[in-house]
Amino acid sequence: MTIRVLLADDQALLRAAFRILIDSCDDMEVVGEAVDGARAIELARAHRPDVVLMDIRLPGSDGLAATTAICADPELSATRVLVLATSEIDEDVAEALAAGASGFLGKEATPDALLDGVRIVAAGESLLSPLATRALITRFLATPADGARLAAPEDLAALTAGEREVLGRVAEGRTDTEIAEKLLLSPPDVRSHVDRAMTKLGARDRAQLVVIAYQSGLVRAVPPPAGAH
C-alpha cells in the first residue's frame, strides 16, 4: 500500500526537499502541498491523505488551527497528522497533540527519522519522544484550561483493571512489546486493550490516550530532568 502524504509548510525549499525525499520511496507519494493552514485543510478534504506533514507555525491560519480542524473532521478520521516543530517543548505542539495529532518531530530530524515517522503514524501508531512528551505534559497538558480537558478521573471507570494498567504503560512511552513483557501478555492482547481504551475514552489515537492518562490523574506528571530538551 502506498502512503499518501500531504505537505504543509510555507517554505518552498523545505517542501521541495520533503517531496524529493518522500517520492524517492516506493511506499510513499506526495499528493499535495499547502503553504498555510487553510490550504492544508482544503487539500486534506480533497485528497484524503494518509498523513499530513504539518509545520506547526504557518502564516495566516496556522498549523495548530489546521491540525485541530483536520482531526475533528469525521470524514478525515483515517488521516493522521505528524507535526513538525522547531522546538519539541512547545505549547502549540502540546495543543496539537490534545487536538489529535499523532506525534511530532523536531525540524532537525534526519531524513530517515522523518520517513520512519511517516510510516509509524500511517500505521496508526503514535510518534512521541517519551522525554519531550513528559515535558509537554508537565508544562501544558496535565492541568489544561477547562475547554482543553480531554478526560476527568471519573472517565476511567469505564475501563477494566487491565485496560487501566495498559493505559498507564502507554503513557510512560512503552511499546506494545515492552508492555506485553512487563504484564505477561501477548502484543496482540496489548493492542486489544489499547483499542478498547481508545473506544471507551473517545481517543483518536495513542497520542490522545497519553494526554487522557495524565489529565485523568492515572499517571502523574513528573518534571523532566534539568536541562532536558
Cα 176 to the center of its chain, rounded Å: 17
**Domain containing residue 61:** 3-127
Do 161 and 208 share a structural domain?
yes
Number of domains the chain contains: 2
User: Residue 134 domain-assigned?
Assistant: no
Q: pTM score, two decimals?
A: 0.70
What is the pLDDT at residue 229?
43
160: domain CATH number is 1.10.10.10
- Amino acid, res. 93: V
20 pLDDT more than 90: yes
User: Residue 132 domain-assigned?
Assistant: no
Do 123 and 166 share a structural domain?
no
Q: Could you give the CA distance from residue 84 to residue 198 in angstroms, rounded to a whole number?
A: 25
Do 113 and 33 share a structural domain?
yes
User: Residue 94 domain-assigned?
Assistant: yes
Residue whose C-alpha is closest to residue 103's, from 60, 132, 70? 132
Q: What is the DSSP code string of 150-180? A: ---GGGGGGS-HHHHHHHHHHHTT--HHHHH
Neighbours of 171 (CB within 10 A): 25
Residue showing cell 512503552: 174
- 87-124 pLDDT per residue, tens: 655 677 777 887 788 888 887 888 998 999 999 899 88
Q: Kindly state the helix (H) or strand (E) to which residue 212 belongs, with its residue range.
A: helix 206-215
- 129-187 pLDDT per residue, tens: 655 666 666 665 555 555 555 667 788 899 999 999 999 998 877 778 889 999 999 98
Do 120 and 173 share a structural domain?
no
Do 95 and 66 share a structural domain?
yes
Pairing of β 3-8 and β 51-55: parallel
